Structure 1
Amino acid sequence: MYLSTNVFNMERARSSIINVTSNAGCDTIGLRIKTKASLYDKNRESRMPKQKGMCIAVFAKHGASPKQAIWRSVVDLLAANAFHVLVCDSMLNSGSSRKSKPECDEANFEFANLALIKKKAKIAVIIGGDGTFLGTARELADCNIPLIGINQGRLGFLTDIRLDDINPTLIDTINGQSVSENRAYLEGQILRQGKVVENHIALNDIVISRGIVGGMVELRVEVDGTFMYDLRADGLIISTPTGSTAYALSADGPILHPSLAGLLIVPVAPHALTNRPITLPQHSTIDIHVTGGKQTGVHFDMQFNGRAKVGDQIRIKVSPHPIQLLHPARYDYFAMLRQKLHWSASPTEAPHKTRGLRDSGHAK
């Protein structure tokens, strides 16, 4: 084997090409070796993200000010790391939208509607509490964009990154130092005389509840076409594992680990004390027939509210399209439960541990 080396002038190029030719065959292999550039260029390369120019969408709570320090600092950090940033214009109300967009013409981001974000964005960063995260997740359910949450709310079961830990955790998470996790959506339909009158999705839960006026709701529950039970109660919760730490938990439901493929049915204040929560396989189809009650409500993540009449049927199943969450590399589900729910804390310790809970993260 012999080597033939062509070295280009360093003034014209920063790399050398060495052609290695083997006598045993006719294959020629080209190897490109980077030469040492200036210290500035070397440091700049080390700061560059793995996917230079990748489009990142930023969502903030509806009505947030265009000059709000938190989301602008997130945008500045992403832009400084060479990401193309789109800020969803749904955060702006009609008045502020008209006033703020001209002021941001020379900014390091651009406002974009949801359709453009679905087309271009590779990752979505959501700034807010769990409510903001749930609403955004439903809006992006059909486009398979991974979601990262920054906690600007209270507990933050879904928003992992603390406000005081955005830099460098956010950039590290985007660049691959992360834990990817799929979570299931629920699809819910309200059928009236066999026709679908409402069709929505939920990440946490779908709740059938009594109306403002009247007594308990009366329901007949079937699973995969098989009768399960009749129920008289204030309501019924159909929850994903993600939602098992939400309303279902306050109604004495169990906590399901997010990796479990299951559904949770939890009665709310049932008339019969023998009606207890039950966990079903994820592939189950749940049909709930409204047999009594007035102004029965059907709530999707407690953010969209529908109405069901006596004789209506509510059909619930898991969506075939899961949501993808990106957690920081140090994410620990059980540490999150300890911090948010005060696991392993005695009653005398719990009040002290609530200090700073607003910005608490999920790391140990």
Structure 2
Amino acid sequence: MQSVTSILLVTKAGHADAESTALAVSRWLEARGVAASTLSAACPPEELAAGARGVDTVLVLGGDGTFVGVGRKLALVNVPLLGINFGQVGFLTELPAARWQPALERLLAGRMIERTCLVLNWDVRREGRSVASGHAANDVVAGRGALARVLPVHVAVDGEDMGLGRADG
């Protein structure tokens, strides 16, 4: 991993512990010569993407849901994400909130392992018109509503017809 000179901290909206930890992390980073800025995960996607452009890493302080939401907003920005867990699960936000310092020391020393996730562009079309589109990490789930029903799904990859399948979401 390259050397880290700037980090964007993104906090779960309205989460006091995440916000106070972001302040402590920011001060800790700046004492080590790393530029740090902070935004709320609730800020508009354009603002978050602008804040992430040019930084070496985005540090997400929240739970897995916050991490996924930030990842979705930054899907087209080529920047690594690292999560500090303030949620219940922690599959994606692996760093414990109480022990962020040793992990960030490893990050600054270039001893973190990066994992790459596939970003998919998806488009729902009805009668030849796009009715919804977006980006997703690793998978896309489509459903008709609250009840799971089998529906036909026509799949194309990079414009190549992959066929029609049936799925329940």
* TM-score bracket for this pair, using the shorter chain length: 0.7 to 0.9
Kept in 2: contact 1:188–1:200 (CA 8 A): yes
220 and 86 in structure 1: CA distance in 2 versus 1, 3 angstrom threshold = same
Give secondary structure in 1 for the equivalent of 2:95.
coil
Q: Aligned-pair distance for 1:56?
A: 0.7
1:70 paired residue among 15, 21, 25: 21
Give TM-score scaled by structure 1 length: 0.40
Letter of the 2:163 counterpart:
T
Gap regions ≥5 residues in structure 1? 1-49, 93-112, 237-364
Aligned to 1:187: 121
Residues in 2 aligned to 1:204 and 1:63: alpha-carbon distance in whole angstroms: 28
Q: Aligned-pair distance for 1:165?
A: 1.9
Q: Aligned-pair distance for 1:65?
A: 4.2
Does structure 1 residue 139 correspond to structure 2 residue 90? no
Give secondary structure in 1 for the equivalent of 2:69.
helix
136 and 227 in structure 1: CA distance in 2 versus 1, 3 angstrom threshold = closer
Residues 196-249 of structure 1: per-residue CA shift (max 9 Å, x gap): 12111122542223434xx65341245544344x45xxx32xxxxxxxxxxxxx
Residues 24-71 of structure 1: per-residue CA shift (max 9 Å, x gap): xxxxxxxxxxxxxxxxxxxxxxxxxx857x221000102234994322
Q: Aligned-pair distance for 1:191?
A: 0.8
Residues in 2 aligned to 1:115 and 1:184: alpha-carbon distance in whole angstroms: 18
Does structure 1 residue 169 correspond to structure 2 residue 71? no
Aligned to 1:85: 36
Give secondary structure in 2 for the equivalent of 1:202.
strand
Letter of the 1:137 counterpart:
G
1:178 paired residue among 102, 112, 117: 112
Q: Which has the higher contact order (CA 8 A, sep 6+)?
A: 2
Letter of the 1:217 counterpart:
R
Aligned to 1:154: 88
For the pair shown, which has the larger CA radius of gyration, 1 or 2?
A: 1
155 and 66 in structure 1: CA distance in 2 versus 1, 3 angstrom threshold = closer
Give secondary structure in 1 for the equivalent of 2:38.
strand
Does structure 1 residue 220 correspond to structure 2 residue 152? yes
Kept in 2: contact 1:161–1:170 (CA 8 A): no
Kept in 2: contact 1:129–1:153 (CA 8 A): yes
Residues in 2 aligned to 1:171 and 1:139: alpha-carbon distance in whole angstroms: 27
- Using the aligned pairs only, state the percent identity: 29
Letter of the 1:72 counterpart:
L
Gap regions ≥5 residues in structure 2? 156-160
Kept in 2: contact 1:58–1:126 (CA 8 A): yes
Aligned to 1:34: none
Letter of the 1:206 counterpart:
V
Q: CA RMSD in A?
A: 2.7
Q: How many residues align?
A: 160
Give TM-score scaled by structure 2 length: 0.79
